[in-house]
A and B are shown apart, each in its own frame.
Chain A
Amino acid sequence: MIGAHLINGGTLAVNEIPVLGIDGFRGWVCEAVSAGATLAALFGHPLPAGAGDGAGAGAGAGKVRLVAVLTWPLDGCLEVLAADAGDTYRALTPDCPSAHWFEREIAEQWGIRPEGHPWLKPIRYHPSWRPGRDAWGRPAGGEILPCVTDFYRVEGEEVHEVAVGPVHAGVIEPGHFRFQCHGETVFHLEIALGYQHRGVEPALAGGPGPRTMALMETLAGDTTVGHGLAYAQLVEGLAGCRVPARAMAIRAVGLELERLANHVGDLGALANDVGFLPTASYCGRLRGDFLNLSALLCGSRFGRGLVRPGGVAFDLEPARVDSLKARLVPIVADVGNAVNLLWTASSVMARFEETGTVDRATAVQLGLVGPAARASGFERDVRMEFPTGFYRFQQVPVASLPGGDVFARAYVRWLEVQRSEAFIAQALAGLPPGPVRAELPGPLAPDRFAVSLTEGWRGEICHVAQTDAAGKFAWYKVVDPSFHNWMGLAMSLRDQPISDFPLCNKSFNLSYCGHDL
């Protein structure tokens, strides 16, 4: 390894991170990814005035440093390396497709142009964060409307274009989908997002402050515990805080309950999309039951207020442990009854099987995460490969299937539902005694770099941050699992009937606000 390495939740002094030349950086990232590493994050951050290659004050002003966070699953460690980019550099994407979305983000945020990028378009449609620099040469101060861009077009006599969204039928988030169709067959799908861009990352710089935790819990409302936990781990690493074992266990229970609620809800929604009523209606109710268990844990059905830096805000008294255990049993039984109807109904299987297939090679190339990756036989799970907290003591087997189709994505969810149920039951049976929260020993360590990964229900959540000399966040980077997976959805639609799009979309069920930040 060329870069500095650390464990999940660990930290590095900023000057421990090797700053390579851009060609060396590019070469090593591409080589590492082809050798089995995965790209957890690739982004730029501004250099403070006074840093940078050149000596002397002010040399770093306006410059941007690229950082890559690679994960090495077999070694269980993370690798960090950096490079200073000029206004252009040779794009990584042609040799490392999983950098695709990251490089578009870098271009949009910093006005740095990755030359040779095959698909260089904005992803969130906001002005560059470096005034005066724009990767597309758009005039400064001009209005940038979401999803106004040159979409790819397929030309031909019988080719037609179908545009869906940003306003959808149904209570879902806004996003724009362009299909190039030949009759009912989709040749190409282009997904344009950015309607939910709120500027979370700039708002996090200068933290942590009183609002920081609230921002984390609302990055993606359905992944409250996942993002909250990633942030808490990161801050605990920077502050040198030891989390009590009981808090770790309660956090893991909260994270698995979140997974259960969402997976069961997704299975019901998949059934609904093929018009299979029994599972659809029962899973809708059962998702609510799991949410109510989260409410029992912390008073919020979506897990808000549970995770706090240093531990959890709520203890589980013996009475509530018993109540949680007792309520879990009938719900688990009902979920089994409702979901197993899917696998025994041939009409459902006819819809799920061989629909929206993403083969393993594509999944690996795109760097998919979470159930979508595992359903393509790409076994990756932060809980197993880079465990933190309670997952170091109690393992969850990785659920994976080789098919890559809607069935595989549904069945992986079902496997994970069963394993999460078993995990919660086991965790509750042996809940460690002791306090549930430790005070942070002091302010965050200055000039340190930290990475924190958690396995949210959608997949790998990556938070990266660096503190300045005062121990405040110089910048904060969030990579939601959806950021990796939107391209997987686009690929799953190639040569599929357009009428299967809603089913494929639901089988990925990606977050718009988590992506748009």
Chain B
Amino acid sequence: MAGLVPILLALLLAPLLLGVINRTKAFFAGRQGAPVWQPYHDLRRLLGKGAVYSRTTTWVFVAGPVVGLASVLAALSLLPLGGQPAFLSFTGDLVLMVCLLGLMRFVTVLAALDTGSSFEGMGASREVTFSALAEPPLFLALAILARKTGSLSLTGILGAIDHGLWLQAGPMLLLVATALFVIFLAENARIPVDDPNTHLELTMIHEVMVLDHSGPDFAMILYGAALKLWLLGALVVGILVPAGSPWYVGWPAAVGGLVLVAVLTGVVESTIARLRMHKVPQLLVGSLILALLAMVLGAR
């Protein structure tokens, strides 16, 4: 039963991270900002609305948000938190987790293309291009950790990153965490890759793909995005916060770490501008290079 706790924490607290990011940005902008609970209100409001469907869309458009949310929920069941085991764990589950995130993206892209809108087609093309560049560093980072810890499951890997490993391979772990943080920003459509607040269709990546979704469908997309933010953030935190503590230290430490990651994201978004679209690949390749450096350090 303890394996359910990471899932429950994610389900309950993921939208809070969005609230924390927005609050941090408001602080830097000299504004009071929306309450940190605002994303929950938004979700409730969207769930109470009807949805509008264009005549050009088919069942693919309706299925997109459902399958997307289902895939990220499935991926969450593989996620260990605070050094405690995940709900499900088996050899090679890290590949499945990345695949589930890929499936989520795939159905979102399909739903976007289903609308036939030129904006959504552009967004889909950008999303696919950039995620193709974001996956190699993600896999490489996970592979390095698997090699170092000698485990091929997420529970095994994150459970093995303890004080001892930090003392032995601290620089490598730091590099991997940095590479993962860049991927975290890119995959969650944050600045400097994408601007979640922009209203300009021509510059959007992720947001433009979901322009036509409304009501409960859009709530599912927002909630799915929050869960994905939690999931990738938890990987970063899982490396940075050493395992080996009992659950009553591990879980609060992990949640605290995730809030700090959200604050850090807010700080990044408040202090730098968005990259030019054709510079985004350089950033992602940069994260790949960080992961490669980590591999060199780890092979010593």
Contacts and interface: CB of A to CB of B under 8 A. Distances in A.
Interface of A: 160-164, 169-170, 184, 271, 273-278, 280-282, 285, 345, 347-348, 350-351, 355, 497-503
B199 interface: yes
B31 interface: yes
Interface stretch (B55-63, B108-116, B236-244, B264-272): B264-272
B275 A499 contact: no
B25 interface: yes
Contacts of B132: none
Contacts of A351: 273-276
Interface string B140-164: 0000000000000000000000000
Interface in B15-53: 25, 28-31
A273 B192 contact: no
Given A162-B122, A275-B197, A499-B202, A281 B278 contact: no
B256 to A, nearest CB: 25
Given A277-B29, A350-B275, A351-B274, A169 B201 contact: yes
Given A184-B278, A497-B277, A278 B29 contact: yes
B8 to A, nearest CB: 34
Interface of B: 25, 28-31, 118-119, 121-122, 126, 191-192, 195, 197-203, 269-279
Nearest to A185: B278
Contact of B118 (A161, A275, A282, A355): A161
B203 A162 contact: no
A503 B276 CA distance: 11
Given A162-B122, A275-B198, A502-B203, A350 B270 contact: no
A503 B277 CA distance: 12
> Which residue among B122, B126, B279 has the maximum number of chain A CB atoms within 10 Å of its CB?
B122
Contacts of B118: 160-163
17 contacts: A162-B118, A162-B122, A271-B273, A273-B203, A275-B191, A275-B195, A278-B271, A281-B31, A282-B29, A282-B30, A345-B271, A350-B273, A351-B274, A351-B275, A351-B276, A498-B122, A499-B277
Nearest to A350: B276
A164 B199 CA distance: 13
A218 B273 CA distance: 36
Contacts of B271: 277-278, 345
> Which residue among A281, A355, A501 has the maximum number of chain B CB atoms within 10 Å of its CB?
A281
Nearest to B191: A275
A271 to B, nearest CB: 8
Contacts of B272: 276, 345, 347
Contacts of B31: 281
Contacts of A503: 203
Contacts of A271: 273
Contacts of B276: 350-351, 355, 497, 499-500
B275 A164 contact: no
Nearest to B205: A499
Contacts of A498: 122, 202
B219 to A, nearest CB: 20
B273 A278 contact: no
Nearest to A284: B29
Nearest to A177: B202
B199 A499 contact: no
A169 B276 CA distance: 21
A275 B29 contact: no
Given A276-B272, A497-B276, 14 more contacts: A275-B273, A277-B25, A278-B29, A278-B270, A345-B271, A345-B273, A347-B272, A347-B273, A348-B273, A351-B273, A351-B275, A499-B277, A500-B203, A502-B203
Given A162-B122, A350-B279, A277 B274 contact: no
Contact of A497 (B198, B270, B274, B278): B278
Nearest to B31: A281
Contacts of B28: 277-278
A146 B28 CA distance: 43
Minimum-distance CB pairs A-B, first 10: A281-B29, A275-B274, A276-B273, A274-B273, A347-B273, A502-B200, A275-B195, A347-B272, A169-B199, A499-B277
A500 B276 CA distance: 8
Given A184-B278, A277-B29, A164 B273 contact: no
A501 B275 CA distance: 14
Contact of A347 (B119, B200, B275): B275
Nearest to B278: A497
Nearest to A355: B276
Contacts of B197: 275
A184 B205 CA distance: 12
B151 to A, nearest CB: 39
Contacts of A499: 202-203, 276-277
Contacts of A502: 200, 202-203
Contacts of A161: 118
Contacts of A355: 276
A498 B122 CA distance: 10
B24 to A, nearest CB: 10
A8 B270 CA distance: 47
Contacts of B192: 275, 347
A351 B25 CA distance: 21
Nearest to B26: A281
Given A276-B273, A350-B279, A169 B200 contact: yes
Contacts of B202: 162, 164, 498-499, 501-502
> Which residue among B29, B31, B197 has the maximum number of chain A CB atoms within 10 Å of its CB?
B29
A280 B122 CA distance: 27
B277 A277 contact: no
Contacts of B30: 281-282, 285
B274 to A, nearest CB: 4
